[in-house]
Amino acid sequence: MSIQRRVRINSQIRVEKVRLIGANGDQLGVVGITDALKAAEEARLDLVEVAPLASPPVCRVMDFSKFKYDQEKKEKEARKRQRVIHVKEMRLKPKIGMHDYQVKLNKIREFLSHGDRIKVTLMFRGREQSHPELGRQILERLTKDISDLGLVEKGPLAEGRFLIMILAAKS
């Protein structure tokens, strides 16, 4: 949503009285909208509504294009500081072969090095469900193998025919 649609300026402000702040930041008090527009026009600047929810709304005499530029710059800076953490999923089975385990382990290490979280899902099929200890052993081995890069955020939790564990990168 652009700044122009959120902020009302000049004739878009449709209230009777506003709390006016001058161009140099001094409080001019509560004045009628026509007086506020006149003050902005005399200063050759815009009347910008900075706090529409206040009672009465707060308006400031300022250069709107400079205000808009500053707001966009702040938003861009905030987006830059924001860090997105992705949750990747890795599925295993209790009877996983050694090579397959190594391939999955390498992929998990790669995800952890990028700072992602990993949801490790161990899926039991058929008669495998009667031996949940096999799945726990695999998850314990996985925890030991990635201990240098990551840590267990949420321990092995049984949900139906799945055993779920969440891993996170070390800070």
Digit-coded pLDDT (tens) for 108-159: 999 999 888 999 999 998 888 888 888 889 999 999 999 898 889 888 888 8
Give the Cα separation of 167 and 153 in Å (integer): 5
Are 95 and 137 in a shared domain?
A: yes
Are 22 and 64 in a shared domain?
A: yes
The closest of 47, 53, 41, 60 to 12, measured between CA atoms, is: 47
Task: Mark which of 30, 58, 79 sits at the end of a domain.
Answer: 79
Query: How many structural domains does the chain have?
Result: 2
| SS3 of residue 7 by DSSP | coil
Give the Cα separation of 148 and 28 in Å (integer): 62
Q: 145: how many CB neighbours lie within 10 A of its CB?
A: 15
| SS3 of residue 123 by DSSP | strand
| SS3 of residue 153 by DSSP | strand
Pair of tokens at residue 63: 């250069």
Mention every residue, 6+ apart, whose C-beta is less than 8 A from residue 80: none
Count the alpha carbons within 13 Å of 44 in the hemisphere toward its beta carbon.
0
Give the pLDDT of residue 5.
59
Residue 120, domain extent: 87-169
Q: What is the pTM of this model?
A: 0.53
Q: Which helix (H) or strand (E) holds 62?
A: strand 58-62
Are 156 and 98 in a shared domain?
A: yes
pLDDT, tens only, 20-69:
888 888 888 888 888 888 888 888 888 888 888 888 888 889 888 888 89
Are 62 and 133 in a shared domain?
A: no
Are 68 and 9 in a shared domain?
A: yes
CATH number for the domain harbouring residue 121: 3.30.110.10
